[in-house]
Structure 1
């Protein structure tokens, strides 16, 4: 399990950069939500800390990330777990 603190993220670009760093996405990561579904490797269990702050400050980014991870789970890894704390 990997924990990622998203409480200080202020915009979608910062969110993508944080994901890229913490999840060790390749440099070719396109920093778009479609790239998450199948184009990158994600640990089996990810916990996002400070989710309420992210959802309040960057609502579109939070919603898009959650949807991308839901799609990733359905399409590629049913055992994948994402927690939003």
Structure 2
């Protein structure tokens, strides 16, 4: 399991930088939602269990980013890894 604290993220650029660092994305990561999808479906294998701490604060400060991240991870689980667990606390 990996825990990622998103509670202090202020914008989508910061969110992408955090995801890049914590999930081990390559230097050429494009810092957008299409690139996020490409990264999790073909470039890196994200941990079996990902726990996001501070999700409520992220949803308040960066609603589009929280929605896109949640949707991408839900789609990833549905299409590629049904056993993948994401917690949003």
Which consecutive unaligned segments of at least 5 residues does structure 1 have? none
Question: How many positions carry a matched residue from both structures?
Answer: 85
Which consecutive unaligned segments of at least 5 residues does structure 2 have? none
1:73 equivalent among 63, 72, 77: 77
Alpha-carbon RMSD across the aligned residues, in angstroms, is: 1.1
Q: Tell me the TM-score normalised to structure 1 length.
A: 0.93
The Cα offsets for residues 3-27 of structure 1, whole Å up to 9 and x where unpaired, read as: 0000000000100000000111111
Q: Tell me the TM-score normalised to structure 2 length.
A: 0.89
Cα displacement (A) at 1:67: 0.3
Instruction: Write out the 4+ residue segments of structure 1 that deviate beyond 3 Å after TM superposition.
Output: none
Bigger shift: residues 34-43 or 68-77: 34-43
Which is richer in helix? Answer: 2
